[in-house]
Amino acid sequence: MTAEHSHGPPPGSASAPLPPADVRRVACVGAGVIGGGWVAHFLARGYDVTAWDPGPGAEEKLRRLVEAAWPALEQLGLAEGASTDRLTVTSTLQEAVAAAEFVQESAPEKLELKRSLLAELDAAAPPGVVIASSTSGYPMTDMQTEAADPGRLLVGHPFNPPYLIPLVEVVGGETTRPEAVEWASRFYETAGKSVITMDRELPGFIANRLQEALWREALHMVANGEATVREIDDSITEGPGLRWAFMGPCLTFALAGGEGGMAHMLDHFGPSLKSPWTRLEAPELDAPLRDAMVEGCDEAAAGRTIAQLVAERDQGVIDVLRATGRLPRSGSAGQTPGERGAQAAQGDESGEGERRT
Ligand SMILES: NC(=O)C1=CN([C@@H]2O[C@H](COP(=O)(O)OP(=O)(O)OC[C@H]3O[C@@H](n4cnc5c(N)ncnc54)[C@H](O)[C@@H]3O)[C@@H](O)[C@H]2O)C=CC1
Ligand SMILES: C[N+](C)(C)CC(=O)CC(=O)[O-]
């Protein structure tokens, strides 16, 4: 614990957190699919991690998740000293965050729960320590209403699994301090993530807004019997998904215009935007659609268990990262948080080195 933390100003005032590269202790609150994934990520990057989750059997589930993720993380390259032994599961939220230098909240996606939990975390965490929510869609403005110091609360939206997918979308709410947003972006970069820092709140942020459009159309097609789950998945993995791993949809479509690039692509295909391809209202998620999706996914899984699919996905993501030159630079992945701090002190605070080869 730094002097800053133990003798900081009272909660509610703006106290400066540690420099991002000096952070050693991270708390993860809520340790399901995403919280557990964050725990695995931070452990692999050499942090000391405390976790708290009130769910039945939460510690056992969390340790199982971390163990299942570890082989993939070993392939990526662990930071020196990284160990699953550096995980402490606490029996109270207060213990989990008492000495934390950064807090990642990953509790269920329920607005009232998030509001009161974030207020509780704000009351328990050392002053100034930044608290990020993994929410996949709530604006922080709606979640920070009950906290005494809402200025340190922000969204750090990850992608599943957070230990393999680099992106985090960082955005504050109306009362978040801009310095907290800046701090969190630097911290995530130091911790090996790829960050998009948003300057305004958008429903679903950027990536979920895009994913949601695709997902809505997929549900329409299943609901109407127009395509099966397998056809929908194959249409992406055998089609556009191959390009999207290394070139986004805009630049990809610019190539659809040939030598004329995006200008020709828009002149040629732009008018078809008005074609009735999309159904912008979300379909009713009724029982028949739910059953069709569940049955379709069972069929697509073809007998593979969730654990097998997770291992298959993890290997697939690693293969893609490797093939597109995005495994952490050798040496960088093996750095401890302390070494990264030293590097930052020497002037490389970009975090770029941890993110790209
Ligand atoms: N599952 C996904 O693909 C993604 C989820 N997220 C977000 O991450 C957050 C967590 O979602 P998942 O991990 O999928 O859910 P989950 O259901 O797998 O895990 C939630 C965990 O929170 C625990 N919990 C329940 N009440 C709690 C409380 N009061 N305080 C702390 N923990 C509590 C539960 O015991 C459970 O282990 C949500 O905000 C979600 O929107 C973000 C990106 C992707
Ligand atoms: C399904 N989801 C909306 C919770 C997904 C995300 O938020 C991000 C992801 O992992 O794709």
**Complex ipTM value:** 0.99
User: Minimum mean pLDDT among 22-26, 40-44, 324-328: which range?
Assistant: 324-328
- pLDDT top residue among 280 and 135: 135
CB within 8 Å of 234: residues ≥ 6 apart: none
Q: Give the residue-averaged pLDDT of 128-149.
A: 97
Share of the chain above pLDDT 70, in %: 87
Three-state secondary structure call for residue 15: coil
* 260 annotated among ligand-binding-site residues: no
pLDDT for residue 8 is more than 70: no
The closest-lying atom of ligand 2 relative to the alpha carbon of residue 212 is 3
Share of the chain above pLDDT 90, in %: 78
160 lines ligand 2 (CB under 6 A): yes
Model pLDDT, residue 287 = 95
pLDDT for residue 203 is more than 60: yes
Model pLDDT, residue 271 = 86
**In a mutational test of the pocket of ligand 2, which residue from 134, 135, 136, 202 has the highest number of ligand atoms less than 8 Å from its CB?**
136
The residue whose CA has the least distance to atom 7 of ligand 2 is 136
Closest CA to 27 of 127, 108, 130: 130
Q: Cα(230) to centroid of ligand 2, in Å?
A: 20
pLDDT for residue 4 is more than 60: no
Query: 81 in the Ramachandran plot: left (φ > 0), alpha (ψ -120 to 50) or beta?
Result: left
First to last CA, the chain: 33
pLDDT for residue 45 is more than 90: yes
Closest CA to 86 of 42, 148, 53: 42
Q: Give the residue-averaged pLDDT of 309-322.
A: 94
Confidence category of residue 326, pLDDT binned at 50, 70, 90: confident
Give tens-digit pLDDT for 218-241: 999 999 999 999 999 999 999 999
**Contact of 118 with 153, CB cutoff 8 Å:** yes
Question: Rounded to an integer, what distance in angstroms lies between the CA atom of residue 293 and that of residue 223?
Answer: 9
pLDDT for residue 103 is more than 90: yes
Could you tell me the domains of the chain? 20-205+327-356 (3.40.50.720), 207-323 (1.10.1040.10)
163 lines ligand 2 (CB under 6 A): no
252 lines ligand 2 (CB under 6 A): no
Model pLDDT, residue 273 = 80
Distance of CA 211 to the CA centre of its chain: 14
Average model confidence (pLDDT) across the chain:
89
Q: Give the residue-averaged pLDDT of 315-327.
A: 91
Give tens-digit pLDDT for 236-279: 999 999 999 999 999 999 999 998 999 999 999 888 887 777 77
